[in-house]
Every structure is written in structure tokens, then in C-alpha cells.
Structure 1
Amino acid sequence: MTDFDPADTAGQSPPVLWSLGLLHGELRARHGLSLHDYLVLGTLSEAEGRPVPVTHLTAFLRESGTRMSYLLKNLQAAGLIERNRRGRDRRTVEVTLTEAGRVRFADAERTAHMRLRLHVVL
């Protein structure tokens, strides 16, 4: 990856777009996460162990149910989340972060903070 030179902006991506692209690449390379994966894990981390309905994640990321299902399937296969149907209302699917997910998110969060400190030009 190359660093962004704010002095050379003619015809290039805006600094925030560039920074997000670099962050996405860094998350992929270091942690095996997409930017969407990182956002899902972060939302679950903020829930502090409480289950989060899939509909909340879908609304937050403004994704379709199909796309969210795909994202969650991959995170579950990696052992980073658990999906369960709510006890009394079996129609509602809830997601929780596993211990492996907490660790992966904490590592990714450090990477994100480092990457954004280096590249966000406001």
C-alpha cells in the first residue's frame, strides 16, 4: 500500500475515500475481515454480550436481508459470531459475538485506529 500525498490531489480519490480503501485492504490483509465484517463485529462488540437482532444490523448497514445473511454466514463459519433464534419469537434471529470474535475485533480496532490516524486528512 502506498501513502496518500494530500499535495497531489488532482484527479484522485478524496482523502476519506482513499483512507477507507486503505483501511479495507489493511483489515483484509491483517485480520481477514472486510470493512462490512469490521462494522458488524464492532456493532456486536458495543452490545457487550447482549444479542443483537439481525434486523438491527441490516438497518445499520442499510443492506438487504440477503446480503446480511451472506455476511453473517461467513462470520459464523469463521467462528466469530453465533446466530440463534429468539426463544419465544422463533422468527427473530439474533447475533452475538464469540470470544474469538471479540479478540479479532479488538485487533482490527487497533489496526483501524492506526490506519485512520495516518491517513485521514480533514
Structure 2
Amino acid sequence: MSDMSDSDPSDTTRRRLPTILLTLGHLHGELRALHGLSLPGYLVLGAVAEAGGGPVPVARLTAFLRESGTRMTSLLKGLQAAGLIERDRRAADRRTVEVTLTDAGRARFADAERTARALLRGSLGPGPS
């Protein structure tokens, strides 16, 4: 991995960061600045949106992001506090917590998705539309 510390700009032996790393860093920054979302927050909203906006079990989101339960809970609390998701216990099995998008969450994801697509298209070239 490349050293991200400051170094002498005249040092020609310094390796450049890979394009994908720079692109992901830029995407994370743009999502934060323009939409108030972290990259994991954007991915959670996207996963729920891709599921048709209906309830998605927290366990499925945790597996998708390969996050710890503690980290996922923290992430979901933040999204819920921002009014982007709702978390509810499944009526048939109270042990299962499910996530749904709010109208604000759908709108925020749609805006963030446009930003992500434009940035990725510009950085990595055209991909699937």
C-alpha cells in the first residue's frame, strides 16, 4: 500500500495511489460534502433501494457490507436520526429488525446515486447505465 504521508514532491520514487483508490476517496468526499452520507451509508441506502424499498433485514445489510453488528447498528442509528430510514421489528419474528427507506431516504439516495454515477463515469470511464 502506498504511504499517504507528506513527502518531498521532488521524490520521483514515490508511488502514485491507484486510480480506484483515488476515485473511492473522491466519491466518499463528494457524498459527504453534497449529500451528508458516508460511503457505507450510501451503500446501505442503495441496498435497501435495490430491494424495492421494502423491508430489508439488518442481518442482510450486515452481511452485504461485511460489517460488525456494532458498526452496523451505529451506522443505522445515524441514518435513522437523519430521517433517511426506519427500523422496525418484524411482526412475525420480533428478533428480526428490518430497515425501510423513508421518502427523504429515497430522495437522498437518488441524488447521491446521480453524483456517484457522474463521478465514476468521469474517473473510470463509461460503465453500465
The aligned residue for residue 98 of structure 1 is 102
Unmatched 5+ stretches in structure 1: 1-9
Residues 1:37 and 2:41 aligned together:
yes
Q: How much is the aligned-residue C-alpha RMSD, in angstroms?
A: 1.3
1:118 Cα deviation after fit = 1.2
Aligned length, in residue pairs: 113
User: How far, CA to CA, are the matches of 1:28 and 1:49 in structure 2?
Assistant: 22
1:1-122 alignment, distance < 5 Å: 11-120=15-124
User: How far, CA to CA, are the matches of 2:38 and 2:118 in structure 1?
Assistant: 17
Q: Secondary structure at the match of 1:21?
A: helix
1:49 Cα deviation after fit = 2.6
Which has the larger Rg? Answer: 2
Per-residue CA deviation, residues 53-111 of structure 1 (Å, 9 max, x unaligned), is: 00000000000000000000000000000000000210000000000000000000000
Per-residue CA deviation, residues 1-58 of structure 1 (Å, 9 max, x unaligned), is: xxxxxxxxx6111001110000000000000000000000000101113200000000
Whose RCO is larger (CA < 8 A, sep 6+)? Answer: 1
User: How far, CA to CA, are the matches of 2:92 and 2:49 in structure 1?
Assistant: 24
1:117 Cα deviation after fit = 1.0
Unmatched 5+ stretches in structure 2: 1-13
Aligned residue type for 1:16: I
Aligned residue type for 1:62: R
User: How far, CA to CA, are the matches of 1:49 and 1:39 in structure 2?
Assistant: 13
Deviating runs (4+, > 6 A) in structure 1?
none
